[in-house]
Amino acid sequence: MSLSRSSHALVTGGGRGIGRAIASSLVKAGATVTIMGRNRKVLDEVVAAGDAHHAIAADVSDQAAMQAVISDAAKRQPIDILVANAGAAESAPFLKSDTALFQRMMDVNFMGVVHATHAVLPDMVARKSGRIIAVASTAGLKGYGYVSAYVAAKHAVVGLVRSLALEVATKNVTVNAVCPGFTETDLLEGSIDNIMSKTGRTREQAIAELAKHNPQGRLVKPEEVADAVLWLCGAGAGSITGQSIAVAGGEV
């Protein structure tokens, strides 16, 4: 599938893992791609490698900063595609998950999507053209033990997608979520380390513990998530909106 170079895509959390794979796939499809993250050095390395065209540094949980940097990016070229990918995961039993932990998970995983969408949606509605894709998780479609705050935040993302899609259905703006299962990323490394430290299992055993959720018996590859996102950006997916598509080997 190809996209016009006049299509401008913004990918939050674009420096690593799924976000970088998405940015790279959009570049290869012909779009102009701006990535966002907190680590400017990492972002610049992605641009230097040819996996994005522009980089902007911001914390997705900071509404004012998001509005400012996204407005600047849109002045360079109107944003046609938003991929709200930035995320974070912390694990703890519910009774040890305090208010601060829940707030951190909501600020990054949910409010980060809200802030980015608030910044791009008015222009998309005015131009009657746009694609918004949130990278949620199978955690937005089912429950997992010991990550209640993360699961709650991802469920909120799925709910937002379903509601917003209805609001803008007549504006030629589609809103969808892609929900990966356990995927080979830096973020997953933290979960692997946590299993190893708390259970004494080897790295291979820890990976197997996560991969067992996938009926295919493996971890998802970032490029597989990127392919789903790329399809949702294309003209052929114009009638797909309000959906939460699991990329998880049949887990959901």
Residues labelled catalytic: 150
- Extended beta strands in 47-172, E state: 54-57, 81-84, 130-135
Element (H, E) at 151: helix 148-167
3-state secondary structure 208-229: HHHHCCCCCCCCECHHHHHHHH
> Which residues, 6+ apart, have CB-to-CB distance to 215 below 8 Å?
249, 250, 251
Report the C-alpha gap between 137 and 200 in whole angstroms.
27
DSSP code for 140: G
CB-count exposure of residue 243 (10 Å: 0-12, 13-18, 19+): middle
